[in-house]
């Protein structure tokens, strides 16, 4: 069998932090799709995908030698309300391994059956949500956005009941860590302040060594990373959909892809999760919600860090976010050398996009093309678009390199759905192959797959996604 150098770091924290358990033997597993670009992250060669034990290991049917699988315990605020104990209800950590770069990576199975934290869930995952997360992590990574990754999809050949019976699957998910804000909340609200300190020291020692002995400085770095993450989301038009504190990574990663969506028509108030009736997690709310979540984390750390220091670090969030977002948006417009009026010029473009319902990704990509192509994206507002373009060209007469910062391809919901339907309806992974290739090279032009860069056709415009997506 293929070999991984395993390290059992998280288990050393002690049994209050997890439940040690084997995965359920879910269905009859076989490898549906594998991601060679992710294999080196955990020290695997792509040849491992052909190993006869591969599907058994990455479905949880066969444990990796030298690691006892475990489900993590954590809690969280969901939609702003304290939810109490949550934990890895359908996820299982089956390994931690250090790659050639010295990075420790988690290997986690999502959909491998019930754990003690499943509550009323069945611990399973459906093919639909598995494909979406598999593609989304790779799309975000290629855009330079911190994220979990995916190694493979295992089909289980069973049906899983959601709104209807759907094909089941297991995702082998990779991340530097799956520790969340909710891990700290779990012990804080249980009054186990020693555990809060123990967990913080573990996280700092492994992932933030420059902050050894400096808990306040470490929290400030978490604030900074979170602010930068949200700025990245806003700059590419990504809406997460369910920013509960149990879905917020302590490392500043994009974690837990459910009802996410990359924006098509620019609508600042986009709600991509149809169960979010109040719009708490709308696109334009994400910066404020991230700050809210950081305040919840600060409350969980108040036995460890003085209140004044927590407030001081929290107060840096807005400046970190604004500085990063401004830098990213200026780069998207090619405004390397700052001049008076630049912020107004970018603001005018976003206002015009919202007014016209222009496609977010296509507009920024078209900045590096002709004004005629640009204007066609503003149906009914072409005159205003040409007037803006004239001001923009006067500001930046020489365009170069814009296609290197503005992707042609993002994982639009309709594109993910095309891959899902091909797998579910026809057992055809060729569309999944193509989409994975495109989102892993989002800045390139692929003539044969230009259609995947387009906004959704009418039959795909009303796609609805929820927390089970």
| Residue 123 counted as domain residue | yes
Residue ranges, the chain, pLDDT below 50: 469
Take residue 321 and report the two structure tokens written for it: 């976010």
Domain-terminating residue out of 376, 404, 432: 404
Please report, to the nearest 10 degrees, the dihedral formed by the alpha carbons of residues 365, 368, 373, 377 taken in order: 40
pLDDT at 417: 96
pLDDT at 371: 85
Take residue 356 and report the two structure tokens written for it: 């016209």
| Residue 347 counted as domain residue | yes
Give me the domain span that covers residue 366. Answer: 335-404
Catalytic, 53? Answer: no
pLDDT tens digit sequence for 361-412: 999 999 988 888 899 999 999 999 999 999 999 998 777 789 999 999 999 9
| Residue 41 counted as domain residue | yes
Do the Cβ atoms of 10 and 72 come closer than 8 Å? yes
| Residue 299 counted as domain residue | no
Do the Cβ atoms of 317 and 223 come closer than 8 Å? yes
pLDDT at 120: 83
Integer Cα distance of 25 and 337 in angstroms: 58
| Residue 167 counted as domain residue | yes
**Concatenated DSSP letters for 266-286?**
--TT----TT-TT-TT-GGGH
Domain-terminating residue out of 368, 388, 404: 404
| Residue 111 counted as domain residue | yes
pLDDT at 40: 96
Integer Cα distance of 144 and 174 in angstroms: 16
| Residue 38 counted as domain residue | yes
List the catalytic residue out of 106, 246, 276, 359: 246
Domain-terminating residue out of 141, 175, 209: 175
Q: Which helix (H) or strand (E) holds 307?
A: helix 307-314
pLDDT at 122: 92
pLDDT at 468: 58
Q: What is the CA radius of gyration of the chain?
A: 22
pLDDT at 464: 64
- Give the total number of structural domains in the chain: 2
Q: Which helix (H) or strand (E) holds 97?
A: strand 91-98
Whole-structure pTM value? 0.96
pLDDT tens digit sequence for 187-231: 999 999 999 999 999 999 999 999 999 999 999 999 999 999 999
| Residue 146 counted as domain residue | yes
Is residue 468 packed enough to be buried (19+ CB in 10 Å), middle (13-18) or exposed (0-12)? middle
């Amino acid at each position: 069998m293929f070999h991984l150098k395993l390290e059992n770091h998280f288990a050393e924290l002690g049994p209050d932090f997890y439940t040690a358990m084997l995965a359920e033997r879910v269905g009859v597993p076989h490898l549906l799709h594998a991601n060679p670009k992710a294999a080196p992250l955990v020290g695997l060669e792509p040849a491992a995908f052909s190993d006869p034990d591969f599907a058994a290991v990455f479905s949880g049917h066969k444990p990796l030698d030298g690691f006892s699988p475990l489900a993590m315990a954590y809690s969280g605020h969901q939609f702003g309300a304290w939810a109490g104990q949550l934990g890895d209800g359908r996820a299982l950590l089956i390994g931690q391994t250090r790659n050639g770069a010295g990075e420790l990576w988690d290997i986690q199975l999502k959909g491998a059956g019930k754990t003690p934290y499943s509550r009323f869930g069945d611990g399973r995952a459906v093919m639909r949500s598995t494909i979406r997360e598999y593609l989304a992590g790779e799309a975000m990574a290629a855009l330079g956005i911190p994220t979990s990754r995916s190694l493979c999809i295992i089909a289980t050949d069973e049906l899983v009941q959601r709104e209807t019976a759907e094909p089941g699957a297991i995702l082998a998910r990779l991340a530097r860590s799956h520790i969340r804000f909710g891990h700290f909340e779990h012990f804080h609200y249980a009054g186990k302040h020693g555990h809060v300190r123990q967990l913080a020291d573990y996280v700092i020692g492994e992932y933030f060594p420059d902050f050894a002995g400096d808990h306040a400085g470490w929290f400030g770095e978490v604030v900074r990373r979170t602010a930068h993450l949200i700025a990245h989301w806003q700059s590419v038009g990504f809406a997460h959909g369910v920013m509960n504190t149990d879905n917020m990574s302590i490392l500043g990663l994009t974690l837990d892809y459910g009802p996410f969506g990359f924006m098509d028509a620019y609508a600042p108030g986009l709600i991509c999760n149809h169960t979010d009736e109040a719009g708490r997690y709308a696109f334009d709310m994400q910066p404020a919600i991230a700050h809210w979540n950081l305040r919840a984390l600060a409350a969980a750390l108040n036995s460890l860090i003085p209140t004044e220091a927590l407030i001081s670090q929290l107060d840096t969030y807005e400046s970190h976010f604004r500085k990063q977002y401004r830098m990213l948006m200026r780069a998207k417009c090619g405004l390397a050398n700052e001049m008076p009026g630049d912020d107004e010029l970018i603001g005018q473009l976003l206002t015009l996009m919202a007014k016209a319902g222009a496609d977010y990704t296509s507009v920024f990509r078209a900045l590096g093309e002709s004004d005629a192509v640009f204007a066609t994206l503003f149906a009914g507002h072409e005159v205003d678009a040409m007037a803006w373009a004239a001001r923009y060209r006067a500001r930046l007469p020489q365009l170069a390199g814009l296609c290197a910062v503005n992707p042609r391809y993002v994982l639009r919901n309709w594109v993910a759905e095309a891959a899902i339907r091909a797998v579910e309806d026809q057992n055809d992974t060729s569309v999944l192959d193509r989409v994975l290739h495109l989102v892993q090279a989002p800045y390139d032009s692929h003539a044969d797959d230009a259609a995947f860069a387009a906004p959704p056709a009418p039959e795909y415009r009303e796609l609805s996604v929820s927390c089970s997506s």
